[in-house]
Every structure is written in structure tokens, then in C-alpha cells.
Amino acid sequence: VVLTIIDLDHQLLPDSLTLPLVWIGLLLNIDNTFVSLESAVLGAVFGYLCLWSVFWLFKIVTGKEGMGHGDFKLLAALGAWFGLAALPTIVLLSSVVGAVLGVALIVTGKQDRETPMPFGPFLAGAGLIHLFYPNVLLTWVTGA
């Protein structure tokens, strides 16, 4: 919640909050609290690299930075807490909701295309959904 408010107000996810979240997630999973330690480490690494790769691809194609580095670290933290297998759900949910809201704001004239929109709140929201409904994507896709 704190990171969401900070990102909405300042478009910043401070290292002083995101990095401890990564370490806490890894430490909690030493005893397999949510996932195995191996999955937590892989989740942190691939979570970071996923958005880092998107950042650089976007920058190479457009010459602009499409997101902040705090987003990489927040997804790394979510990967550390929930493991590698959670990343596709978290990335898909946050991206779809963020895109739909972004398009709606542009269509209604409440935001223009050049105004940056923080991604952290969507990542955090998707992480919360995964915490309480870990199979939400599977359920939604299969109807089971």
C-alpha cells in the first residue's frame, strides 16, 4: 500500500522499500513459507530481468525510458515472495489492468499519451490478487 501511494504521488519506488522486500521474501522462503527457496531465488532473478528486458527493448526502439528501475525491483520482490511460477500471472494481470486503465484515461481525455503512468500500483495489486487467489489466472482461463 505504501509503495502504491508513493508511486502514484512521485512516480518512484524507493530502494529503501523495494530491496528489503526482496530480502524478506527470500528469507521467508528459506523454510518454504510460500515456495521453495530455489523458486524464490529464480522468481527474484527472473522478475527483475523480465522488466529490465522490457525497459531496454523499449528504450532501444523508442529512445525513451518506458518505466523506472523500481518496477524491476518490485517484480523481483514479488518473485522472491511467490516464486517463479507466479510471475506470468502477476505480469499478465498488472499489464492488462494497466493497459485497460491507460486506454480508458486517454479515451476519456483525463490523460494524454505522453503523460507517464506509474506501473507499481498495478504490480502491487496483481501481487495481492496472487496472494489471496493464487490460481486466479488458471481459473479465469479454464473456468474451473
Q: What is the 3-state secondary structure (H, E, C) of 63-77?
A: CCCCCCHHHHHHHHH
| pLDDT greater than 70 at residue 31 | yes
Amino acid sitting at position 139: T
Q: Rounded to two decimals, what is the model's pTM?
A: 0.94
Q: In this predicted structure, what is the pLDDT of residue 89? A: 93
Q: In this predicted structure, what is the pLDDT of residue 144? A: 63
| pLDDT greater than 90 at residue 143 | no
The residue segments making up the domain with residue 131 are 2-142
Number of domains present in the structure of the chain: 1
63-106 confidence digits (pLDDT tens): 999 999 999 999 999 999 999 999 999 999 999 999 999 999 99
